[in-house]
Amino acid sequence: NAGVTQTPKFQVLKTGQSMTLQCAQDMNHNSMYWYRQDPGMGLRLIYYSASEGTTDKGEVPNGYNVSRLNKREFSLRLESAAPSQTSVYFCASRETPPGLAALGDTQYFGPGTRLTVL
């Protein structure tokens, strides 16, 4: 049981290049999330997928696209990377059970991808 896995762990891009960050979970969770974390700013939600087949914008979606490929996988794509997208990117998943069980439902995070855009 690997939990949430992310690839790659590190990446350096030049301005204008594109890339896809991969995320997979083996916990049969319904919801998946992409965050970015910048110094002093906590975690900011980029996109999320409440269930297979659905995606929605979070707090900072500009410059990104996502694909919920199946229940396990949720990818994040940068079409034309910019220096402002230099950050640490975390993927997370959550079971989202129905009813009161959802009150204690938490997110589990992957190890992160450190992206630098030059």
SS3 102: helix
CA distance 40 to 68: 29
Q: How far is the CB of 98 from other proteins (least distance, A)?
A: 8
With 0-12 / 13-18 / 19 or more C-beta atoms within 10 angstroms meaning exposed / middle / buried, residue 56 is exposed
Tell me whether residue 58 or residue 63 sits nearer to other proteins (CB atom): 58
Tokens of 13: 């891009």
Among 64, 66, 110, 115, which residue sits at the site for other proteins (rule: CB under 8 A)?
110
Among 58, 63, 67, 69, which residue sits at the site for other proteins (rule: CB under 8 A)?
58
Whether a cis peptide bond, with omega within 30° of 0, leads into 39 is no
Q: Report the sign of the C-alpha dihedral through residues 97, 91, 66, 36, in that order.
A: positive
Candidates 10-18, 20-28, 70-78, 96-104: pick the segment binding other proteins (CB under 8 A).
96-104
Contact status: 43 vs other proteins (CB under 8 A):
yes
Among 22, 50, 65, 67, which residue sits at the site for other proteins (rule: CB under 8 A)?
50
Name the site residues for other proteins (rule: CB under 8 A): 31, 33, 40-45, 48, 50, 58, 90, 94, 96-100, 102-112
